[in-house]
Amino acid sequence: MTRKKILLVIVEGPSDETALGYALSQVYDREQVYIQVVHGDITTKDRVSASNIVTMVGNEVKKFLDNNPFKASDFKGIIHIVDMDGAFAPDEVIIDDPECDKCSYSDTEIRADSVDRIKKRNAQKREALFRLIGTGKVRAIPYRVYYVSCNMDHVLYDKRNSTDEEKETDAYDFAARYKGNVEGFLHFMCESEFSVNEEYKDSWKYIETERHSLERHSNLCVCLREEKDRIEKQSMKTAEGDE
């Protein structure tokens, strides 16, 4: 029997893990792939830069390996899902608002109590992402990075600026909605208005332009297309067998 391969999924927060963990585990063939989700907002950590971002991602992978007896050949790959947070939007959309102790996002602007801080954060995130987009492997494991814009809540629930409590509630509701409904989940991720169904690098060129990184878009469908096609073919064969 072929040994299962591990697909390591890196998301930014615990509610993201709750929302996507089970849904993704239904997408991949359970006889061949084991989904493991970890979380950490790597691209905006202090002192992250284009020169060390791959190492920083590798450190997250190492934490997983330190607690599990696996080697690089045991992995199918690494899927890294990142929030855009308007990182590619022009600086002029960042509005000074002393009342905003946290950033507030809309399709047209970012409101924050420190314009300079957000400009610096966005520049750091852009540089890190440019490096990651061109990175094919991390610690000898196939790697690709995908985006949810403006953030995961925006894509999955069409909500921005949620509280931690709202994030948690929405995540559990989302997981419950698609439990046992892999076709529904794949249709939602791959055929919604927010789905950027381009080739991998072209999908990144799209989010880098204009104010798209503030708007509701995701290229996660690029990574799910192969499995979506496999599941649809299986369903067709099953239907033909039932006739």
pLDDT, tens digit, 9 for 90 and up, residues 46-63: 888 999 999 999 998 998
Max CA distance (Å), the chain: 66
Number of neighbours of residue 216 by Cβ within 10 angstroms: 17
- Residue pair 216/148 in contact by the 8 Å Cβ criterion: no
Q: According to the model, what pLDDT value does residue 1 have?
A: 45
In the predicted structure, residue 240 carries a pLDDT above the cut 80: no
Q: What is the pLDDT of residues 141-188, one digit of tens each?
A: 999 999 999 999 999 999 999 999 999 999 999 999 999 999 999 999
- What tokens appear for 221 in the block? 């469908």
- Report CA Rg, the chain: 18
Split at pLDDT 50, 70, 90, the class of 140 is very high
Mean pLDDT of 213-235: 88
In whole angstroms, give the CA distance from residue 78 to residue 37.
10
Q: Measured at the alpha carbon of residue 17, what is the angle toward residues 13 and 22, in degrees to the nearest 5?
A: 170
Q: According to the model, what pLDDT value does residue 2 have?
A: 58
Q: According to the model, what pLDDT value does residue 36 have?
A: 84
If you count them, how many residues does the chain have? 243
**pTM to 2 decimal places:** 0.92
- Residue pair 221/207 in contact by the 8 Å Cβ criterion: no
Please state, rounded to an integer, the average pLDDT across all residues of the chain.
91
Split at pLDDT 50, 70, 90, the class of 239 is low
